[in-house]
Amino acid sequence: MGAVVDLASRKSDPHLAKKARCCVCRHEWVAVAPLGTDWLECPDCHLMKGRYLHPKVPCDGFEMLSCACGCDVFRVTEKWAFCIHCGTERAL
């Protein structure tokens, strides 16, 4: 796990505190990290595979993709989206 930081000395750095889930072990926790952080260290398995749940509010009329395994992070090609957790393919 990361080092303890004195938050009083970092007040000018904007942070985000939201629920997060590990893409590997599925552990859920409330993560606090600087804005713009993409991957979070899981406090359970210690892998850098944590992601904020619902990182962005979807725009009206757009569907949020989510795999059957619960992961919402995909690698996207011109024709397919691949779940980074289980590898399931979804046609676009």
List pLDDT tens digits, range 49-69.
Answer: 998 887 665 556 666 677 887
Separation between Cα atoms, residue 47 and residue 50, nearest integer Å? 8
Please provide the distance, in angstroms rounded to a whole number, between the alpha carbons at the two ends of the chain: 37
State the average pLDDT for the chain.
81
Which of the two residues, 75 and 29, has the higher pLDDT score? 29
pTM (two decimals): 0.56
Which of the two residues, 88 and 46, has the higher pLDDT score? 46
pLDDT at 81 over 60: yes
Give the angle 30-33-35 at the CA atoms, nearest 5°. Answer: 125
Which of the two residues, 10 and 57, has the higher pLDDT score? 10
